[in-house]
Structure 1
Amino acid sequence: MTRADSPARTALTVLGTVGAVGVGAAVWGIGIERYLFTVRRHVLRMLPPGAAPIRVLHLSDAHMAPWQHRKQRWIASLAALRPDVIVNTGDNIGHIDGLAGIRDAFAPFRGIPGLFVHGSNDHVAPSPRNPFKYFSGPSRHVIEAEPVDVTALDAFLSDELGWTGINNAAASIAVNGLRIDAFGVNDAHRDWDDLDALPDAMAALGTGADLTWGVTHAPYRRVLDRFVELGAEALFAGHTHGGQVRIPFSPKALVANCDIPLDQARGLSGWTHGGRTVPLNVSAGIGHSIYAPVRFACRPEASLITLLPR
């Protein structure tokens, strides 16, 4: 072997190794990890003294397609966690016929109090996108996206399950003898949020709440800041998918598809504004777009948050 052969062989070896790692990562992310559903558990002490614990099941970004039976069965199995209340932060639908799968997945939650807001895919079906464009900032809107039947979705969530929609609205629900006031907005990623409507909506509820929550699909800073100003004691969001593809063991997502800090794009953290710090739970979500069927170092998840007395 000549000296010239050695660098060439080394380069080929490096290229082969890189290629093998890339193929292995793709096989893992597409064929394995996107099915490794997990429950992310947290504990928060925010209830009045002597109150019974409250188990909050936070569901987000199911992006359901009718053929995704494994996902449907896993979501349905979460009823075994015996949640006391469910917070759904949108993007339930992932296909024009996705409501059929949502019906099967959510059926065991019928009668459990719940709150929900919309993501854009509750209104329009997903469309193909270049995933590398997410590195240049939040994604742009597809003007000619196919509409889905959001009226049928809301009828199922409200009339059949008994959940309360709080899209640019506020409502009170009773959970374990406590009154929870919650306000929320429609998808801020599409600029459908109407933050100016919330003060009057909250005022109409009157006083006397034991807890106050803010709920949004997309955790944009303007929304989270306004929620804190309005007195929210806990914040719930989705949308980011936790980055969906992450560097293993890194505390930061690579992208968030909104302006939230990348180290807060998944999990429980604190959102600070105006001298107050409020717990913020951003769910990495259960699904993914049918046009980007991959998860890497970011398992699909639901959150179970147990609230205990202060």
Structure 2
Amino acid sequence: MTKRILTTSAAALGLGAVGGTALAAWGHSELNRFELKDLTVELLAPGTLRGVPEFRILHVSDLHMIPQQRTKQAWVSALDVLNPDLVINTGDNLSDEHAVPDVLRALGPLLDRPGLFVFGTNDYFAPRFSNPLSYMFKKKRTPSTVELPWQGMRAAFLERGWLDANQARHEFQVGPVRIAAAGVDDPHHDLDDYEEIAGAPNVDSDLSLALLHSPEPRVLSRFAADGYQLSLSGHTHGGQICLPNGSPIVTNSGIDRERASGLHDFHGMKMHVSNGLGTSKFAPVRLWCRPSATLLRITERPE
């Protein structure tokens, strides 16, 4: 009897190990199964677009680029065919100190379009291995001390015409749409200072945008109170490891699991959280949470 129990237990453990290996292999294969999410948001006053059907915002985030990730680079570069009016990049572009050329290759033609960016901690410091269980207990990981060449990447973004929204406000016009935008540096590791950009957006703007890498409620609340219409963030990876129905187990941020990705309301402000295009090179797996970018079609409100 004892021998039978031991044999059965060993078989169960063996099947569990095989199943775990298969799940990990499948999760790794999901890294290159990119998806484009397509959302329509009614934000503009009637007549703003002057007969144009929509204002297109392409939101990309969390590339976490590693050299030679050619499939990712080609997919992101091909997003230019969507003809976005504005590109928003909400940070964590790097996962390796040699990956800046690869990031620029991926963003390539998109850098020729109007764009705004904020950074995440993994733009400044290289990732490092963390105990996955720490996320279950909402323990914030400590960044490594290995500095990444973010200055060169930032210089390239600026040279191509993108605007740095880290701790900055900007007003500009794209086509018929007058935009007021503000952003903070990564609030997940308290790099932000909202007071530097506090205040309502210009009342003469048609569209007001709030940018932050991590969707931290304490900062989102300030943007919402100031009257911004739409916030854009990333960081969560949509949970990265989700349940079969797509529900995240953790968010690695202060936002609730129900709003870890996608379009939601936050205190009267629309909030879009990207589930991102990459992962840390120390956690190359996604389960029921494919990498994605989002095309936001901003339209006029009904009369």
Identify the match of residue 222 of structure 1 among 218, 225, 230.
218
| CA distance in structure 1 between the aligned counterparts of 2:123 and 2:215, rounded to whole angstroms | 17
Partner of 2:153: 153
Partner of 2:21: 23
| CA distance in structure 2 between the aligned counterparts of 1:110 and 1:246, rounded to whole angstroms | 32
**Partner SS state of residue 270, structure 1:** strand
Contact (CA 8 Å) 2:227, 2:269: kept in 1 or not?
no
Mapping for residues 142-221 of structure 1, pairs under 5 Å? 142=143, 145-160=145-160, 162-199=161-198, 206-221=202-217
Instruction: Confirm whether residue 43 of structure 1 aligns to residue 40 of structure 2.
Output: yes
| CA distance in structure 1 between the aligned counterparts of 2:275 and 2:234, rounded to whole angstroms | 6
Partner of 1:83: 84
Instruction: Tell me how far 1:8 sits from its aligned partner.
Output: 4.7
Name the TM-score, length of structure 2 as normaliser: 0.93
Identify the match of residue 34 of structure 1 among 31, 36, 47.
31
Instruction: Tell me how far 1:19 sits from its aligned partner.
Output: 2.5
**Partner SS state of residue 199, structure 1:** coil
Partner of 1:246: 242
Instruction: Confirm whether residue 232 of structure 1 aligns to residue 228 of structure 2.
Output: yes
| CA distance in structure 2 between the aligned counterparts of 1:169 and 1:227, rounded to whole angstroms | 13
Contact (CA 8 Å) 1:79, 1:108: kept in 2 or not?
yes
Unpaired segments ≥5 residues, structure 2: none
Instruction: Tell me how far 1:13 sits from its aligned partner.
Output: 4.4
Offset from partner CA, 1:191-213 (integer Å, 9 cap, x none): 0111111126x67xx54100111
Contact (CA 8 Å) 1:188, 1:220: kept in 2 or not?
yes
The share of aligned pairs that are identical, in percent, is 35
**Partner SS state of residue 198, structure 2:** helix
Instruction: Tell me how far 1:165 sits from its aligned partner.
Output: 0.9
Instruction: Confirm whether residue 280 of structure 1 aligns to residue 271 of structure 2.
Output: yes
| Paired residues, number | 297
Partner of 2:293: 302
Name the TM-score, length of structure 1 as normaliser: 0.91
Instruction: Tell me how far 1:146 sits from its aligned partner.
Output: 1.1
**Partner SS state of residue 40, structure 2:** strand
Q: Report the aligned-residue RMSD.
A: 1.7
Aligned amino acid, residue 175 of structure 2:
N
Unpaired segments ≥5 residues, structure 1: none
Partner of 1:101: 102
Partner of 2:266: 271
| CA distance in structure 2 between the aligned counterparts of 1:44 and 1:287, rounded to whole angstroms | 25
Contact (CA 8 Å) 2:92, 2:235: kept in 1 or not?
yes
